[in-house]
Structures are given as structure tokens and as C-alpha cells.
Structure 1
């Protein structure tokens, strides 16, 4: 399935396993890369030396390409970038920040750089900054999201119309039909997040994985837009946020309620009441926890079946 994405990353299939905080450790990344797609380690939930450990373990577990997702709003960013270079990682996905800040520096060190955006405006800024590819992520996605609430169906063709570099679609993609649909709209590949949360190799807590499997349509909601918009499964913490909104809270009051390590508490430690449970709308289509290799195989088989079905129309 050779195209601009498979050639850019030297992978078999144009699929990227998203680098999600508290879900994407070395086990998930290496299993993804070994399955023919690009695995990403999520650096956002790791102290620098923990990231180094995950990189080293990933290198031992796979001889295939893998990368690091780096949310630029996190502290210790210089130390994180230095470790990536020291450990010889050649692919970095940046997000939650200005792509101009690190793109040139990374490329000077021989790194392929991809930036995650949620709008045409930021896609153009990323292209101008010199990134090698763009991930355009729609409103359906889990975790931190764009404020414009543009859905993947609308976002992908609008971004495609304006850029020349490879385009990766994200948000609401968990199977082969969605992969084909976004590629028909102009994407060169897809980034899949939520489906890999519910994998055997994900570092998420088993209770959170099961909550994702049990989720139905309408069980997630985007909130905390005054801080950093995030899509969450509705639970006690989510309800507490909505109650606070009734008082017209200040950003400081929202920060106080959010506190520290709320995402770790929910996704990594399995506190389903007080934790922050980040997942996409597509969780309503995820019904089981499977090995990464089986997930990838299912996506590719369904993609090929969908192509044949479209050809018969």
C-alpha cells in the first residue's frame, strides 16, 4: 500500500498509532511498528528520563521505525528534545504549540517532523514552518482538541485544498471504512487513537479500557474550553465540571477543580469517578480489547473490502 506516508516513514501501511498520554508506552508503540504501521510513544505523560527508558525499550522490542509525540505545552521540553536526539529517534510528532519553535532544530538533526492541527489556518502555519507532514484532527477526537469544533469530514478536504505536503487524517477513525473515507477526502494516511487505547498493549488501566469498550454514542463531551479543550467520558469528575460551569467560573476556579494528575488518575490508575477519562466519540464503535496486530489486520482487511464495495457501486 505504498504512498507518500508509507514512503515518508518507511512503513507498510499508511496508519499511525497516536501518541496518547498514559496510553502509549513502549509496548504499544513497538507492537504497532511490528504490525507494519508507525508506532508513537506519548511523551506528554513522561518525565524526561522515563521517556528515555521507553525509547530504549522500544528500540529493543522492534527494528521498525517508531516516533515520539511531543505536546509542546508540557515542561522540560528542551530536555525531552535532547533525549530524542541522543537516542537517535528520527520521527517526531509535535502538537499543542507553535511548529516554528522546534521544527527547524529537529530537521537540522535529521528528524522527520509532523505537526498536529485542528484548522486550515494552523495547517498553513505548520507547512510554512517546514514540517514534513500534517495531522489534521477533527472535533470527534479524544483528548485535547481544537476550539473550532470542525469535524473530520469537513476538515480534511478543506486542509487538502490548501496544502502541498502529505496529510494524515485523525478524529473518529477506528476501522477500515473510516480510513478509506478520509483517504477519498484527500488524506494520504490516518492516525488512530481511541481504537488502540482498547488494545492489550496499551498502558492504560484495564478499568479504563473496559470503560471505553462499554461507552455508547453520546457518552463523551468536549469541555474545559477555557483551559485546553478536552473530550472526556462523562463521569463524576465531568459532572463536577458541569456543576461548576453553572456558577460562571473563572479559569482559575476551573484549574483548581482540575488539580494535578487528573488524567493519570483516570486513564493510568483506573479511578473512573474522579479521574479524567479522555477518549474519542468513536468509542461507541469499539466493542472489545484486542492485540495490536489483530486491530491492524482488521483495519486493513476492512479497508480492502470497502474499496471493493465502492468499486461495485
Structure 2
């Protein structure tokens, strides 16, 4: 089956980002560096550098690395809750970035500025209400993420399937769905239900080009259907791969410890220790619920080819 001849359904996302496939590689902390963003772009998707775990200098280095590895468009994902946000945005603009994904804050503050700079702005949300508010703030598109997703999630715990139904025909701007998307058949389902693109995190985190530690990648391949849990709901809900640290968090939550004690247990650098340094016992391993479907470490090119093959097979089954 020749995936090069695939014809995706009409999607504004393809034109908005100038990409071949309606797939966005999520800008994840400690995982999405310039190498991954470039590889995703070269595979016909939108690649994102994840700025959340980067100081401005490192962000500049990773953007330059991506630009050295691809001539295709890439973007950055910048959380809006940190004091370094303004500097990160300026660094990205100076490095030639024109596609900004923002998250973890209100899009009202930076969207007008970025639009004046000629940029495309996408905001990440977890509810239909925030999707509408983002549209009102002037963004070009939204990523709406179900709580199956890895890392930090919305407090409402709305699933991807429910979000798809809640969003159908509700927005004037295109929406990209995320959370639990890791197969071509799930892409087909998402597009059939009104999404104009998908954002994929976990499957890209497990690729050769990901900066995740090899220990973490192998842990993804060994994960079972019930290997992830939503923890730290009192502070900021986060989906983690089960390990010694996650079990300590669960025990603390069962004992109804205070938020201060939870924060003390979390400490600093847990995500870096687990995801980048490969400490599978005491590190914070942020990953999506779909991780049990990751069976091997593929290149981005092979992953995207696999997704397209699965999409075509699923589409042919229902025609």
C-alpha cells in the first residue's frame, strides 16, 4: 500500500502549518528538542520544540539545531506560567519561529503581540469552555487535550472521545485533538468526528530522535494497559508511568497529606531525573495512557509511515 498517495480529508491545519500530514508532534518537556522537531517536520508533520524545560539560551540552541536539520516549518510550545516566558518568546522570534503553541495560561496576553509579529498562534486547552475563550482571544487554532494525555492535565478529567463530541461544529477555528492518539485508526476516528488534526506526544517520545533517555524509552515499550495513573490532583494533575516515586505520591495522597508536603515530596528536577537522565525509580516519568501500545523504538519517518498505513487500512475497512 503506497502511503505517498494518501489523500487526507480537507483540513485547514495542513494549510495553516504548510505540512503534508495533519499531525503535530507535541512539544514535551525533556523530550522534544531540535532533533525531534526536525525529524517530525521532515516526516511531513509539524515538529515542535518543547520550551517548558529550557532556559532561553538552550531554547535558542535547540531551535538552531532544528533549522540546521530541516528546511520545513517548525514551531515552539511555550508554557505561559513561567517568568521566563517573555524572554523565550523573544528568543524564538529572533530565531525565525513563526508558529507558536502556548499552554498553561491565558492566551489573551501574548496572542495579540504574536499576531502583530505575523505569527500563527495555537493554544492548548482541556475543556470546550477554554477552547471558546481561546477562539475569542484571537488564536488561529486550538489543541484540545483529553486527560488520557501524558504530563499535566486539566482538572475536569474530560476524555478525548467526549471532547470530540462536545466540540463538533462548535468552533469557527480548527481544533486539533490530543490525548491517547497513537495509531492511524485513532487519527481516522478523530478526523471523522470533526478534528482537523491530531497532536501526538507519547508515540513521538518513544522515537529514535526523541531526547528521552533510553531507559525511559524501554520502559515505554514494557508498559502495560494499566501502567499510568493521574497523580497530584491537589496541586496540578499529572499522568505518570508507575514507579517508586509515583507510588510514594499515591501513598501520600491516600494519607491526605497537605499540599506543602506533596510539593516537598515532588522537590525539584524530578521530571529531568526520570525522563532525561533515566532514573526509573525516583524520577517523574510523564507519559500518556496509550503508552501500552508502544512496542518498539522507531524513527519519526517509520512512525509516520506506520500511522499512515494504519489510517489507510482503517479507512478501507469502513468503505
Q: TM-score, normalised by structure 1?
A: 0.98
Q: Distance in 2 between matches of 1:247 and 1:131?
A: 42
- Tell me, yes or no, if the aligned pair for 2:221 and 2:296 is still in contact at 8 Å: yes
Give the superposition deviation at 1:185: 1.1
Helix, strand or coil for the counterpart of 1:156? helix
- Give the aligned partner of residue 218 of structure 1: 226
Helix, strand or coil for the counterpart of 1:54? helix
| Cα deviations by residue, 1:75-123 (Å, 9 ceiling, x for unpaired) | 3111001111111101010011101121111111111000111101100
- Give the aligned partner of residue 160 of structure 1: 168
Give the superposition deviation at 1:290: 0.6
Q: Distance in 1 between matches of 2:82 and 2:277?
A: 20
- Give the aligned partner of residue 101 of structure 2: 93
- Give the aligned partner of residue 22 of structure 2: 14
- Tell me, yes or no, if the aligned pair for 1:160 and 1:167 is still in contact at 8 Å: no
- Tell me, yes or no, if the aligned pair for 1:220 and 1:280 is still in contact at 8 Å: yes
Matched, 1:209 2:217: yes
Matched, 1:273 2:276: no
Matched, 1:149 2:160: no
Give the superposition deviation at 1:73: 1.8
Helix, strand or coil for the counterpart of 1:12? coil
- Tell me, yes or no, if the aligned pair for 2:232 and 2:253 is still in contact at 8 Å: no
Q: Tell me which of 100, 107, 116 is aligned to 2:124.
A: 116
Q: Distance in 1 between matches of 2:139 and 2:257?
A: 38
Matched, 1:55 2:55: no
Q: Distance in 1 between matches of 2:263 and 2:168?
A: 36
Matched, 1:78 2:86: yes
- Greater shift, 71-80 or 213-222, is seen at 71-80
Matched, 1:132 2:109: no
- Tell me, yes or no, if the aligned pair for 1:119 and 1:159 is still in contact at 8 Å: no
Helix, strand or coil for the counterpart of 2:240? strand
- Tell me, yes or no, if the aligned pair for 2:32 and 2:210 is still in contact at 8 Å: yes
Q: TM-score, normalised by structure 2?
A: 0.96
Q: CA RMSD in A?
A: 0.9
Matched, 1:258 2:282: no
| Cα deviations by residue, 1:114-153 (Å, 9 ceiling, x for unpaired) | 0111101100110000000011111111111111111100
Matched, 1:285 2:317: no
Give the superposition deviation at 1:157: 2.1
**Unaligned stretches of 5+ residues in structure 2:** 1-7
Helix, strand or coil for the counterpart of 1:114? strand
Give the superposition deviation at 1:305: 1.5
